[in-house]
Structure 1
Amino acid sequence: MSAGKYRHRIRLQEKGHATSGPLGPIPGAWADWEPEAGQGADIPAQVVPLSGRDFIAAGEKQSEVTARIEIRWLPGVKDTMRVLFDGELYAIAAVLPDPTARKHLTLMVSKGVTDGQ
């Protein structure tokens, strides 16, 4: 596993509990997920765009981009999280573990239709 492979930086975010805002509680606000204490929220990754498509749904033009993101093995990554990469939010559709050595995770992600929700 070469270090140059993971040249991108992503942030994993998870929906938190209700937090207080200036107008009262904010239910389920998103917050950066930190894998281990002191490791930081920026995770080295390889981001590979797979496809993009435009379609008409509910009378409006929509677009969707799907991608594959590979990261080093991190316990606790779930498909209920989302990914922040290069200012864009991606919803995680699936978390695929390395079946043999637990060296990496593959995240199948999409953006556009769900807006990272």
Structure 2
Amino acid sequence: MTMEAGKLRHQVRIERLDYLRDETGAVLQDPSTGETAQQWVEVATVWASIEPLSAREFIASAKTQAEIVARIVIRYRDGLDASMRLVHVRSGRPDVIYNPADFLPDKESGLDYLTAPCSRGVGEGQ
């Protein structure tokens, strides 16, 4: 089963956490504490389907992961993991940040699309 393009109607930015670096590429550190600063960096912007969980699914998910509030489906791409975040880009309204629990491949080929059960993230625009 392939994903229908018409269902992918939400623009989502995939971001990963990375260290702040200077112009030479060296990681920036606080000189007194040695702490390193991090920032979210865009990996890609893709089209996605964002489906809030139904009441039944939400109750069922409460048994294992109460924070799961939505399911985001994107076309398959390599290199995604649960340390990343998904930002629903909404024109004229604040962006919505989601934290994926994982990226699950489709059941048929494993190469058509990925489904990410997500909790609500915290950040700018929230």
Same fold per superposition (TM over 0.5): yes
- Counterpart of 2:77 in 1: which secondary structure? coil
> Match for residue 84 of structure 1?
87
Bigger helix share = 2
Determine which of 116, 119, 122 is the counterpart of 1:115.
Answer: 122
> Match for residue 104 of structure 2?
96
Shift of 1:19: 3.3
Shift of 1:99: 3.2
> Match for residue 47 of structure 1?
50
Shift of 1:100: 2.8
Shift of 1:65: 6.3
Shift of 1:92: 1.1
> Match for residue 7 of structure 2?
5
Contact 2:49 2:73 in 1 (8 A): yes
Shift of 1:105: 0.2
Determine which of 90, 95, 115 is the counterpart of 1:106.
Answer: 115
Letter of the 2:41 counterpart: A
Shift of 1:2: 2.1
**Alignment coverage as a number of residue pairs:** 94
Determine which of 29, 41, 44 is the counterpart of 1:31.
Answer: 41
* Cα RMSD after superposing both structures: 2.4
Identity percentage of aligned residues: 33
Shift of 1:18: 2.6
- Counterpart of 1:4 in 2: which secondary structure? helix
Shift of 1:42: 2.0
CA deviation profile, 1:71-107 (whole Å, cap 9, x unmatched)? 0000011110001013011111121111331100001
Give me the whole-angstrom Cα distance separating, in 2, the residues matched to 1:105 and 1:13.
Answer: 16
Name which one, 1 or 2, has greater alpha-carbon Rg.
2
Q: Normalising by structure 1, what TM-score?
A: 0.69
Letter of the 1:115 counterpart: V
